[in-house]
Structure 1
Amino acid sequence: MAVSAADNVPPFIAAQLTHLLSHFRLTLKVEQMWSADKYNSGPFDRFTLLIPFCLDFIKWDVIYNAECPTVAPDVIFGPEDEDFHPFHMPSDDGTQATSCLSDWNYGDPTRLLSLVQFLRDQYVLYQRKRVGEVDDDRLKFEISTILSREGIEMHMSSGAEKPEEVKFAVPLLDMNINKMVPSCPWRYPQKIHLQVVYPVGRKYMSAPSAPRLKLVSSSELKALFSIDDVKLPPWLDGMCLAEYLPNLEEYLEKQVSEAVLSIDLRRQFIEALAIQLGRPVEADPVFCRKATFLSATGVFTFLIHFLIPTQFPKQQPTIMLQSSQHFNSQMAPLKSRPLVDYPWSPRWEPLLMADRVYEFLADEALNFKRQCSEGTLQ
């Protein structure tokens, strides 16, 4: 949600919230803003934040007193966290860090950011303490073997209508993926996490069942490779998380390296196409996932769109033709169906790939021209 004067937000709240959204190290969302006035005719002085935590979001309501702006806001936590008392907990350095409230300055746009960061840090400790108190021998053992890893977050989930379970968010790969991509456009470091969900039991079993496992990454990383396409290594009987992670990280590191190498292969393919089709009118210069060429057969001009998958060359590009002269009833240019039924082998060199594509397009362009002229395309 954008914050602006049009939102009827007091200037000091808008400044603090804008600073928070632009500097918070993880993706943070404002779900809604509203006013103390039930008719929302007054200034918006309260809002709901979606705080990223353990690969999910927790909801906190932040409530200002717009009539007394020198007072720090109240923060209302979720119904499951009634025992969360952040200012009665020791901070990471062993002290009770209340300075973010005691010397509150409503004119300082950094104050809300400091408050939310402090509360989130305390929430990490609070959830870790809750999980550590669970009466489950297997969980206690798992925690003892992985606590030395930095950045692990855990969450205890319970309720009347759902079984108790503990969720871990484990950061993977001690490698800077951003630096591996030339001209990387990503603002924040790209991370891959393993989500591990254990049901809470009361007895230690000699061969406990495997936990639920899922790889999670930011949506930006999908431009390099898709986590959904990664097949997780099997979880063997009797295995613990500390044993599972090294093999998984070795496998993932190989996957990332191959994905980076695929960028150069896609670039070579686009350059090979340019020999036959001329310089592209548009192309993705970083990940080389897209390229568009202008071509003609006689007086018929058309665009050729190439959508190149991250698993190139194992998976072939999808081709789509678009007329520059024919339009449907909504005045949208006519396009062909996605084309993948052309000669292809991942073992070919880029020049041979481009040659075979060019040969295929010579006939397909005539068919596309006829379909456009006959009006059989929509």
Structure 2
Amino acid sequence: LYCHLPAPDFPNTFENLKFRETNKFDESCEFQHQSFQRFEKLTMANEGVPPIFAAQLNYLLSHSPFPIRVEQMWSGSKNEPWLDRFTLLIPFCLDYIKWDVMYNVHSPLSAPDLIFGPDDERFPPFLLSCGGDQTKSPLHILSNWNSKDPSRLLSLILQLREFYSAYQRKRVGEVDDDRVKFEISTMLAREGIEMSLSSGAEKPEEVKFAVPLLDTNLNSMVPGCPWRHQQKIYLQVIYPIRKYQSAPSAPRLKLVSTPELRSLFSVEDFKLLTWLDGMCMAEYLPAVEDTLQMQIVEAVSLIGIRRRFIEALPSAFGRPLEADAVFGRKAMVLVANGVFTFLVHFLIPLQFPKQQPTLILQSSQHFNAQGVPIRSPPVSEYPWSPRWELSEMALRIFDFVVEESSNFKKSCNEALQQR
């Protein structure tokens, strides 16, 4: 067994604010479990979107401070192929609000119509009732629409979201529950808190809070950080409205992060502190943040250990073909046993070296009926000790691959015979 080292216009503003008549959107609120189709870099050629609308949408997707998604696109005319309407999924309070943006391909210079969700019928009247600087109102953007400015749609959505946040905060403040009112008063000093009131025909009313944790700039803690959006960790707090509860109960708590942060830290592995009787959020949050801060610092330090492990691989396998230079989570080497060449993929866990890498072998000579290289199942059971030196870890894995290569070649040949 040896290593192969290759080189490597707008008459009525209010009419533009409408309500959705479709069913309520009730997908999972967790960022990390969302799976939406992205519509990025849209062009008339490959998506059927008129360029004047595509420019607006592309700018929104590229410059939004939070990850807005496009769920679907469709044409407003049965006789026109152009896609001039789309549904935006906008992050809010660790959930997604669903708004339709309705352009008109026959009047491309006009502002779009907007359709909000079925539970937000009081939102447009709320917009109209707001005083203050009218130049900062979304109604001002709609009544002074400039279709040649690609940033207008994003500005509109951001301002609408800001007003929507104020609208939800007002709804929560009107809830007849002393406990909720008290909790709000204790968290007023915190910036960035979002809240919403959820209700339905078949479930009790609940107040949801999304509380951002840590003042630390997580992006700056990772050298060479590739994240475009600022990474955040939130505590989701859900209080049932008291009129549905015979006695106060502990809120439902869950730690949620932006999805990219999983490359550094897994909130699923963080054990939340126990909520004690009589506790309030003003007591609970500092303790959670202290523990979380320590674990984040430790997670950053583990990046260096994973990188050094990858740097130790050449002593046994030769220089890796590919490696994750930022987080040290993946590496790939090319090896051979006689004329049989194959790749070894290293999937390095966040808790390395307490947890050993998962290995996947991939043949460079055997392919299935779909033309995909044959791979072994993930292998995570082999001799390992977190106390070994990194160079010894690499050599022990090398020895294991030596023993496993013949079995892998045999399984590849058997797979070809069964085709």
TM-score (norm 1): 0.91
The Cα of 1:377 is off from its aligned counterpart by: 9.6
| Structure 1 contact 195–216 (Cα < 8 Å) conserved | yes
| Structure 1 contact 308–317 (Cα < 8 Å) conserved | yes
Question: Where in structure 2 are the equivalents of 1:8-87 lying within 5 Å?
Answer: 8-37=48-77, 39=78, 41=80, 43-84=82-123, 85=125, 86-87=127-128
Aligned to 1:313: 353
Match among 165, 172, 193 for residue 124 of structure 1: 165
Give per-residue Cα distances to partners, 1:300-331, cap 9 Å, x unaligned: 33222211111111111111223333444444
Aligned to 2:339: 299
| Structure 2 contact 134–140 (Cα < 8 Å) conserved | no
CA RMSD of aligned residues (A): 2.5
Match among 95, 110, 114 for residue 151 of structure 2: 110
Aligned to 2:393: 353
Match among 277, 289, 293 for residue 317 of structure 2: 277
1:323 aligns with 2:363: yes
Cα distance between partner residues in 1 of 2:340 and 2:99: 59
Give per-residue Cα distances to partners, 1:68-115, cap 9 Å, x unaligned: 444432222212111113132135x69873432332222222222211
Aligned to 1:252: 292
Structure 1 stretch 118-127 or stretch 324-333: which is displaced more?
324-333
| Structure 2 contact 75–82 (Cα < 8 Å) conserved | yes
| Distance change (3 Å), C-alpha of 1:159 and 1:331 | closer
| Distance change (3 Å), C-alpha of 1:36 and 1:250 | same
Higher relative contact order, chain-length normalized (CA < 8 Å, sep 6+): 2
Cα distance between partner residues in 2 of 1:71 and 1:299: 66
1:196 aligns with 2:237: yes
Question: Where in structure 2 are the equivalents of 1:356-375 lying within 5 Å?
Answer: 356-372=396-412
The Cα of 1:251 is off from its aligned counterpart by: 1.4
| Structure 1 contact 335–377 (Cα < 8 Å) conserved | no
| Structure 1 contact 34–40 (Cα < 8 Å) conserved | no
| Distance change (3 Å), C-alpha of 1:282 and 1:36 | closer
Structure 1 stretch 345-354 or stretch 286-295: which is displaced more?
345-354
| Distance change (3 Å), C-alpha of 1:124 and 1:354 | same
| Structure 2 contact 273–288 (Cα < 8 Å) conserved | yes
1:202 maps to amino acid: K
Kindly, what percent of the aligned residue pairs are identical? 62
Structure 1 stretch 250-259 or stretch 129-138: which is displaced more?
250-259
1:134 maps to amino acid: V
Question: Where in structure 2 are the equivalents of 1:82-101 lying within 5 Å?
Answer: 82-84=121-123, 85=125, 86-90=127-131, 97=137, 98-101=139-142
1:283 maps to amino acid: A
Cα distance between partner residues in 2 of 1:268 and 1:192: 28
The Cα of 1:370 is off from its aligned counterpart by: 4.5
1:54 maps to amino acid: C
Give per-residue Cα distances to partners, 1:177-231, cap 9 Å, x unaligned: 11111111111111111111111113998x8321111111122111112222222
| Structure 2 contact 368–416 (Cα < 8 Å) conserved | no
Cα distance between partner residues in 2 of 1:322 and 1:69: 52
| Structure 2 contact 204–244 (Cα < 8 Å) conserved | no
Cα distance between partner residues in 2 of 1:373 and 1:197: 55
Cα distance between partner residues in 1 of 2:179 and 2:417: 61
1:337 maps to amino acid: P
The Cα of 1:33 is off from its aligned counterpart by: 2.7
Cα distance between partner residues in 1 of 2:231 and 2:100: 29
Match among 307, 322, 326 for residue 286 of structure 1: 326
Cα distance between partner residues in 2 of 1:244 and 1:335: 47
The Cα of 1:281 is off from its aligned counterpart by: 1.4
| Structure 1 contact 63–73 (Cα < 8 Å) conserved | yes
Aligned to 1:232: 272
| Distance change (3 Å), C-alpha of 1:248 and 1:318 | same
The Cα of 1:260 is off from its aligned counterpart by: 1.2
Cα distance between partner residues in 2 of 1:365 and 1:317: 17
Cα distance between partner residues in 2 of 1:101 and 1:338: 54
Match among 133, 140, 147 for residue 188 of structure 2: 147
Cα distance between partner residues in 2 of 1:119 and 1:325: 56
| Structure 1 contact 371–377 (Cα < 8 Å) conserved | no
> Number of residue pairs matched?
375
Aligned to 1:157: 198
Cα distance between partner residues in 1 of 2:56 and 2:186: 40
For structure 2, which runs of at least 5 residues remain unmatched after alignment? 1-38
